[in-house]
């Protein structure tokens, strides 16, 4: 074996052959690549050269209209946003869909409740809070036969398109979406399409007829409509799709109940978007629901059902604010912002920040996201404010702190210029560690693109931040010879650039001051 321009040394050990890479070449190649590709560094790698560009439809978040944005929807929102960001970065076309729970018997209850306890002024000023209060009040009377009957009548009128009833429902829906959009803006999340169960009323009827035509719909003795999804076709595994009173089942995604609307929505999206893959992001309690949904679509003759995927996640436990157990997402966002602001105010440097509240919001959100993304998505985890908000250790605060620190280094010493960098000045072990790590970024993106798990990127960015923190201590820019200072500045610029790229994929906005 001969050395060449890439391999500078070859030696034999006990049962091994050791290759030493030309370190100047390593430094030059990595820095040039990061500089040239910018925000596309890693995604232009040959690892992705054989991956076909596809169109993906991603359904995520999907809260229930007229109920406050529940904390349970946080995971679906940030996980779906991450998957969409990653696919877009890799050159795929993505349609982000929010499929709202905006139909069903609960609207019968809510309509009756609003007639009894509603207040139009409160509805306009804080719609979700007010509708939630109304829903809680009417729910107490939900067992009362008269209330039940009124709720059924209200919902029947909705189904029959009664104008007055529809206009109340539409107001609930429109005001709720307005408030959701405001919350999504705080999370840095957007959607291409707000869809919902209400869109598929007529189409659900078509699905019913298709199931009947194909002989897939069977009636039980009680008159319930079921589809046999068992392998041996012996009714050992059935899926309920219709109540005995003839109404289709809505939004009851638990209990192996499939609504015609879910089937209609999947078929409609294929007709509308001609997607290559469709991903549903919900908690793992709905795994059976999606398994059966895909099975029924396949029985109906839709082979594309094999390209549908359910990305499931576990539950977050122990999320409390100072006021106690948390139910609503906005309370968490306010809490993390105020705690972060408090932490920042107690440090000496915060006084110079232009917009401390905005910064606290971004850093707080990074803390929530990193704590959520550190493990496997399917795992439940115990939430801890103290752990999430530590400025040292493996947290989102530490990532933001590292980014801000590297940014201020560049501000202080002027921007690095790659043209005249002497790479011979970057041969210290701590510089080589950072360079080697930067070289691995594409592998990490590839792993995440294969299993849609953010933890690979999180772990990579945390290691990068720790390596950059060590290098920042041992390789000072200030007081070094000009060519050494310039080379180190280039190294830190490359580290900050890749750190920012990775953070953005996770749904985090990097801050420049902290």
Q: Which amino acids are annotated catalytic?
A: 67, 70, 73
According to DSSP, the β-strands at 316-317 and 381-382 are: parallel
- 3-class SS at 339? helix
Could you please report the per-residue DSSP string of 197-222? Answer: GGGGHHHHHHHHHHHHHTT-EEE-TT
Question: Which residues, in sequence order, are CB contacts of 70 under 8 Å at separation 6+?
Answer: 63, 64, 327, 328, 329
Question: Which residues, in sequence order, are CB contacts of 403 under 8 Å at separation 6+?
Answer: 496, 499, 500, 503, 510, 511, 512
Cα(62)–Cα(282) distance, integer angstroms: 9
Residue 291 CB coordination number (10 Å): 14
Say if residues 295 and 258 touch (Cβ distance below 8 Å).
Answer: no
Nearest residue to 482 (alpha-carbon basis) of 435, 436, 413? 413
Could you please report the per-residue DSSP string of 56-118? Answer: EEEE---PBTTS--BTHHHHHHHHHHHHHHHHHHTT-EEEEEEEEB--SHHHHHHHHHHHHH-
Cα(458)–Cα(24) distance, integer angstroms: 29
- 3-class SS at 23? helix
Chain position carrying tokens 């310039």: 486
Nearest residue to 294 (alpha-carbon basis) of 266, 273, 255, 260? 266
Nearest residue to 267 (alpha-carbon basis) of 201, 194, 207, 225? 207
Say if residues 256 and 249 touch (Cβ distance below 8 Å).
Answer: no
CA angle in degrees (0–180, nearest 5) for 168-174-176: 100
> Exposure string (b/e) for 336-375, b if CB count within 10 Å is 16 or more?
bbebbbebbeeeeebeebeebeebbbbbbbbbbbbbbbbe
Cα(69)–Cα(67) distance, integer angstroms: 6
Sign (positive or negative) of CA dihedral 500, 506, 511, 514: negative
Cα(137)–Cα(144) distance, integer angstroms: 13
């Amino acid at each position: 074996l001969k050395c060449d321009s890439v391999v500078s040394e070859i030696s034999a050990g006990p049962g091994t052959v050791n290759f030493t890479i030309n370190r100047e070449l390593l430094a030059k190649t990595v820095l040039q690549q990061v500089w040239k590709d910018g925000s596309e560094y890693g995604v232009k790698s040959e690892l992705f050269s054989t991956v076909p560009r596809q169109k993906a439809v991603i359904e995520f978040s999907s809260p229930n209209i007229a109920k406050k944005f529940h904390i349970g929807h946080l995971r679906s929102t940030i996980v779906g946003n991450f998957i969409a960001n990653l696919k877009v970065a890799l050159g795929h076309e993505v349609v982000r869909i929010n499929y709202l729970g905006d139909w069903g018997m609960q609207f019968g209850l809510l309509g009756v409740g609003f007639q009894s306890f509603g207040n139009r002024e409160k509805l306009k000023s804080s719609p979700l809070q007010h509708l939630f209060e109304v829903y809680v009040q009417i729910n107490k009377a939900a067992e009362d036969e008269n209330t039940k009957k009124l709720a059924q009548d209200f919902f029947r009128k909705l189904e029959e398109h009664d104008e007055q009833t529809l206009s109340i429902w539409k107001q609930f829906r429109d005001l709720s979406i307005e408030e959701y959009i405001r919350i999504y803006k705080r999370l840095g999340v957007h959607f291409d399409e707000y869809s919902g169960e209400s869109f598929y009323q007529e189409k659900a009827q078509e699905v019913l007829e298709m199931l009947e035509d194909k002989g897939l719909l069977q009636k039980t003795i009680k008159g319930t409509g079921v589809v046999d999804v068992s392998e041996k076709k012996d009714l050992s595994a059935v899926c309920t799709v219709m109540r005995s009173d003839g109404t289709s089942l809505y939004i009851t995604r638990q209990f192996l109940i499939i609504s015609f609307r879910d089937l209609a929505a999947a078929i409609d999206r294929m007709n509308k978007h001609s997607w290559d893959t469709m991903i549903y992001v919900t908690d793992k309690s709905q795994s059976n629901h999606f398994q059966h949904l895909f099975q029924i679509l396949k029985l109906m003759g839709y082979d594309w059902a094999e390209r549908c995927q359910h990305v499931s996640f576990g539950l977050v436990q122990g999320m409390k604010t100072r006021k106690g157990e948390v139910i609503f997402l906005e309370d968490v966002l306010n809490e993390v912002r105020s705690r972060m602001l408090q932490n920042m105010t107690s440090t000496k440097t915060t006084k110079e920040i232009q917009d401390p509240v905005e910064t606290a919001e971004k850093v707080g959100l990074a803390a929530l996201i990193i704590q959520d993304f550190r493990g496997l998505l399917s795992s439940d985890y115990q939430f801890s404010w103290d752990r999430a908000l530590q400025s040292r250790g493996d947290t989102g605060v530490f990532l933001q702190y590292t980014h801000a620190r590297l940014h201020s280094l560049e501000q202080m010493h002027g921007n690095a210029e790659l043209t005249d960098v002497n790479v011979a000045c970057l041969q210290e072990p701590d510089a080589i560690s950072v360079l080697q790590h930067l070289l691995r970024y594409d592998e990490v993106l590839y792993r995440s693109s294969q299993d849609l798990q953010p933890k690979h990127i999180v772990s990579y960015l945390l290691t990068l931040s720790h390596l950059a923190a060590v290098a920042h201590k041992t390789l000072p820019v200030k007081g070094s010879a000009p060519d050494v200072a310039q080379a180190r500045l280039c190294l830190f610029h490359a580290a900050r650039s890749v750190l920012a790229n990775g953070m953005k994929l996770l749904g985090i906005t990097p801050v420049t001051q902290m």
